[in-house]
Amino acid sequence: MDPKATRIGLVGYGEVGRILAEDLRAQGIAVHAYDIKLDASATAGPLRDHAAAHGVKLAASHAELAAASDLVVSAVTASQAVAVAKACAPGVQPESFFLDFNSASPGAKREAAALVDAAGGRYVEGAVMTSVPPYRLRVPLLLGGPHAAALQRLLNALGFASRVTSDRLGVASATKMCRSVMIKGLEAMVIESFTAARRHGVEDAVIASLNETFPGIDWEQQAAYFFQRVIEHGRRRSEEVREVAQTVREAGLEPWSASGTAERQAWMADLADAGVFGERGTKGFARSPDWRIEADRILARIGD
């Protein structure tokens, strides 16, 4: 398959989908996209504007997008990974690739793979190992499954930074999910610890102690980053961590930590939706370099 002639279909036209579309279209590669937000007039406008600005063709359904694609990239919320595979399956072209970018459990990935492979496609699980925006198309990406090696050659020719971790489904996603127990959990712990410390007036002492114990981490900067990312993406993160919890269950453990993290992330998303951190899309929304400002907003709200 000629990389430059590859027709790519993006399911999910959110932050990740738009970044991929921009970088692929900059190379002249044909890109189609579909997102359920296109079906509602209240949410379709910005997506249509972005697609028009970058020459992305919009499909009317999952199956229509799959039928027009040599490679489908599914980048939706974690809970929708299997549903998207099922919706795309009727349109999947023989021998076309289906790259599942979603943060789903190994069990969910295997379920999605069965749907795509039964339709004649080639399913590959993908595990995005860090935040996409700083790296864009070259975000570190683990691939897994029997078709992973074939897809890796195509992806890297397109500018991705992918590597095959296993020819067995579930290995790449388990790596990502187990890492997320720590990363997403640390976000939730910092928000909980620092906000409580702010209320008790001991935040400077807490940070000084952390700096002494973990001198390689700038806790002021890290806290600001964690607050901003969770405020902006807590809903998506909470869904991902519920898949993390399922991954832990699939290992035979009770996911006490992951379940608590999912609740804290969802709680932050609820506050953001309620306007505690400002109006979404405005300059003042979740943009403070000082985590204390956001913590004070939380404390003011829960003190009402």
Q: In angstroms, rounded to a whole number, what is the distance separating the alpha carbons of residues 223 and 205?
A: 15
User: How do residues 257-269 score in pLDDT, each as one tens digit?
Assistant: 999 999 999 999 9
Sheet holding 122-128, edge to edge: 57-58, 31-34, 8-11, 71-74, 97-100, 122-128, 140-144, 161-166
Q: What pLDDT, on the 0 to 100 scale, is given for residue 288?
A: 73
282, exposed or middle or buried, with CB in 10 Å at 0-12, 13-18, 19+?
Answer: exposed
pLDDT greater than 90 at residue 144: yes
Residue 187 confidence (pLDDT): 97
Domains of the chain: 3-168 (3.40.50.720), 173-302 (1.10.1040.10)
Confidence of residue 304 (pLDDT cuts 50, 70, 90): low
What average pLDDT does the chain have? 94
pLDDT band at 1 (very low <50, low <70, confident <90, very high): low
The predicted-structure confidence for 62-88, as pLDDT tens digits, reads as follows 999 999 999 999 999 888 999 999 999
Dihedral sign of CA atoms 191, 193, 194, 199 in order:
positive
Residue 2: per-residue pLDDT: 78
Output b/e per residue, 34-59; b: 16+ Cβ within 10 A: bbbbbeeeeeeeebeebbeebebebb
Q: What is the pLDDT of residue 283?
A: 60
SS3 labels along the chain: CCHHHCCEEEECCCHHHHHHHHHHHCCCCCEEEECHHHHCHHHHHHHHHHHHHHCCEECCCHHHHHHCCCEEEECCCHHHHHHHHHHHHHHCCCCCEEEECCCCCHHHHHHHHHHHHHCCCEEEEEEECCCHHHHHHHCEEEEECCCHHHHHHHHHHCCCEEEEEECCCCHHHHHHHHHHHHHHHHHHHHHHHHHHHHHHCCHHHHHHHHHHHCCCCCHHHHHHHHHHHHHHHHHHHHHHHHHHHHHHHHCCCCCHHHHHHHHHHHHHHHHHHCCCCCCCCCCCCCCCCCHHHHHHHHHHHHCC
